[in-house]
Amino acid sequence: MARKPIIAGNWKMNMTNEQAKVLIEGLKPLVKDAKKTEVVICVPYTDIATAVSLCAGSNIKVGAENVAWAEKGAFTGEISADMLLELGTEYVIIGHSERRQYFGETDSSVNARLKTAVAKGLKPIVCVGETLEQREKNRTKSVIRKQVTLGLADLSEEDILNTVIAYEPVWAIGTGKTATSEQAEETIKFIRGVIAKMYTRKIANKVRIQYGGSMNPKNVKELMAMPNIDGGLIGGASLKAEDFSLVVNFDK
């Protein structure tokens, strides 16, 4: 029942096209021998065409950072699944805490985007995570349970198996303050338990769950040694080829 580790970069709102070219060309040779780990870069919409063309024939897969729930139409500023697929996009991040915090995403909009993504054949990376205040008030589990049950509601067994979940404690994002491997493992194990209740234990044991939040070359080994942690969603450290490659090659 081995789950293949997945290390995904989330570039967020960084990298112009020219900068993206330099980063990808630098990254390709550094990660080419990562055979046992899936390597993904989730990039701004404007970098997708460039990333797909530069990553063709390499082991790097390309993802977007969001997708519309609607198929097409009057949704100014949104990007549809068909638009992403036509460019060769494989993965898509949904429900990142920055989307929830700054752009009004809710569990229900996350669920709507997710359903469209899986229906169209994009592979989703759905983010969940508690704020510092919620953790300090001992609400981590109830917050995460709600995000998982509502955000991932009504997926078929096949679709949940194609969905990656990223546990990203909001207080660990961009702060340099990583969750300890025990904290990350505990919550990720809890998420697996929630999935087991929604589906079956057998299915839950097959779903990949990443950790995200200040993951870097220094802490990746310890986090990846945890039995329930199947990979990482990497922000800051994915913007430098050398750093990202060291995270990807955590097992070397």
Known catalytic residues?
96, 168
168 binds ligand 13P (CB under 6 A): yes
Whole-angstrom distance, CA of residue 190 vs CA of residue 35 = 29
Q: How far is the CB of 136 from ligand 13P (least distance, A)?
A: 19
Least Å distance, CB 251 to ligand 13P, is 19
C-alpha angle with apex 66: 10 to 57, nearest 5 degrees? 60
Which residue number, 96 or 113, has a Cβ lying nearer to ligand 13P?
96
Using the rule CB under 6 A, is 180 a contact of ligand 13P?
A: no
Helix (H) or strand (E) holding 113: helix 107-120
The answer to the question of residue 229 lying near ligand 13P (CB under 6 A) is no
**Side chain identity, residue 136:** E
Give the range of 24-32, 72-80, 146-154, 166-174 binding ligand 13P by CB under 6 A. Answer: 166-174
> Can you tell me the distance from the alpha carbon of 102 to that of 236, in angstroms, rounded to the nearest whole number?
19
Cβ at position 158, least distance to ligand 13P in Å: 25
Among 155, 215, 241, 246, which residue interacts with ligand 13P (rule: CB under 6 A)?
215
DSSP state of 82: H
User: Rg of the Cα trace of the chain?
Assistant: 17
Residue 62's CB is within 10 A of a number of other CB atoms, namely 25
Judged by CB under 6 A, the stretch of 19-27, 141-149, 181-189, 229-237 that binds ligand 13P is 229-237
Q: Which stretch binds ligand 13P (CB under 6 A): 24-32, 106-114, 193-201, 208-216?
A: 208-216
Candidate list 214, 219, 228, 245; residue touching ligand 13P; CB under 6 A: 214
Q: Where are the alpha helices (DSSP H) in 60-106?
A: 81-86, 97-102
Contact flag: residue 234 with ligand 13P (CB under 6 A): yes
- How near is the Cβ of 42 to ligand 13P at its closest, in Å? 8
* By CB under 6 A, residue 177 contacts ligand 13P: no
Which residues ranging from 93 to 152 are in contact with ligand 13P (CB under 6 A)?
A: 96
- For residue 171, give the DSSP letter: G
CB 5 within 8 Å of CB 229: no
Count of residues touching ligand 13P (by CB under 6 A):
14
Q: Distance between CA atoms of 204 and 193, rounded to whole angstroms?
A: 7
> Pairing state of beta strands 231-234 and 6-10?
parallel
> 51 Cβ partners below 8 Å, 6+ apart?
20, 24, 41, 43, 62
Q: Which residue is at the shortest CB distance from ligand 13P?
A: 235
Q: What minimum distance in Å lies between the beta carbon of 234 and ligand 13P?
A: 5
Interface contacts to ligand 13P, rule CB under 6 A:
10, 96, 168, 173-174, 212-215, 233-237
